[in-house]
Amino acid sequence: MKGGGAYINIGSSSSSINSSVSGSGSANGSKMTLGKSVKMYLTIFIATTCIYMVLYQYHMSREPFSPSEIGKPPLYIITPTYRRPEQLAELTRLGYTLKHVANLLWLVIEDANKTNPLVAHTLDRIGVPYEYMVAPMPEKYKQTKKAKPRGVSNRNRGLEYLRQHATEGVLYFADDDNTYDISIFEQMRYISKVGMWPVGLVTKTGVSSPIIRNGKLDGYYDGWIGGRKYPVDMAGFAVNIKFLRQRPHAQMPFKPGYEEDGFLRSLAPLANDEIDLLADECRDILTWHTQTKKNPPAQALNKTRYSNTNLEHIDKLLVRP
């Protein structure tokens, strides 16, 4: 009878408190005791609920994205990358941009035969959901003295991944060195087939953009048209996944200068009025074709001179071509 004993104890102790405070009779006193303990339990209950709610609110405010953001159509960002001194810096900058975007999978695909642990470490540290894959440029293109089809095998590997793993949402090719305003990602989620928008810092015109006349797509503005049906930059369009999957042969050609055009043509049939015009109907610039200055490869570290120093550690973080 442990419980009963405890009950009696509580009752008697509160009754004694009760009598000492109010000085009322014993029958009346037990009623008051009951009332007081109900009040006490109610107070504890309300206080606990309040504390719980405050903690929950705090927890939710620490979560990067709200449940409504997580329910948005997914974005698949295909980023070609390759080994060079700037690589980790480019990936870090792009990665922290993407970290502001909910429900996104970052497909980082390196033009290499094997993955690089330094790249994987950088991606882990950034904390954006990612897949890191390799897709080397075919040898015949690597050897050529002419312009190379940069990032093409990488992007086609990304398309292959999407055909296997993605059913809905939107795909975007984000080169590792460009600059992106995060609002373009929110806009591209809702593209029904293909979406386009201006890209700054492209050719002598300073911008590559669809031309909109009377609310309709009416050609393209770009310093180099080159006989292209779609003279647009890689950073200036995105494609709906369902639409892509209805075109099982769509891919990017190994044709320098014509990668975007070739890929968009391979999405036929696609009528001009089926192209969504983003960035305030192409009146705004939200992506830029920035180019990073090439840096010379880091010289070898003098291992004798700097043995047992931090430089031995830093040296392992340098990407040498």
Query: Torsion angle of alpha carbons 219, 224, 227, 232, nearest 10°?
Result: -50
- 253 vs 190: CA distance, rounded Å: 27
Select the residue interacting with ligand UGA from 151, 158, 210, 262 (CB under 6 A): 151
Is 228 near ligand UGA (CB under 6 A)? no
Q: Which is nearer to ligand UGA, 100 or 150 (CB)?
A: 150
Mark whether 260 is an active-site residue: yes
Residue ranges of E strands in 154-206:
170-173, 179-180, 194-196, 199-200
> How far is residue 204 from each of residues 13, 196, 223, 265, measured CA to CA in Å?
89, 20, 5, 25
**Interface with ligand UGA includes 222 (CB under 6 A)?**
no
Rounded distance between C-alpha atoms, residue 240 and residue 196, angstroms: 12
124 is in an annotated binding site: no
Among 177, 233, 261, 276, which residue interacts with Mn ion (rule: CB under 5 A)?
177
Comparison of 30 and 179: residue with beta carbon closer to Mn ion? 179
Paired residues of 209 in beta bridges:
221
Q: Is residue 234 at the binding interface for ligand UGA, with CB under 6 A as the rule?
A: yes
Indicate the SS3 state at residue 68: helix
Closest distance to ligand UGA from the beta carbon of 176 (Å) = 4
Bridge pairing between strands 170-173 and 275-277: unpaired
Is 154 among the residues that bind ligand UGA (CB under 6 A)? Answer: yes
Q: Which of 69, 160, 260, 274 is catalytic?
A: 260
256 binds ligand UGA (CB under 6 A): yes
For residue 210, the partner it binds in ligand UGA, Mn ion, none, with Cβ less than 5 to 8 A by kind, is none
The catalytic residue positions are 260
Binding-site residue numbers are: 177
Binding-site residue numbers for Mn(2+) are: 177
Question: Interface residues with Mn ion (CB under 5 A)?
Answer: 175, 177
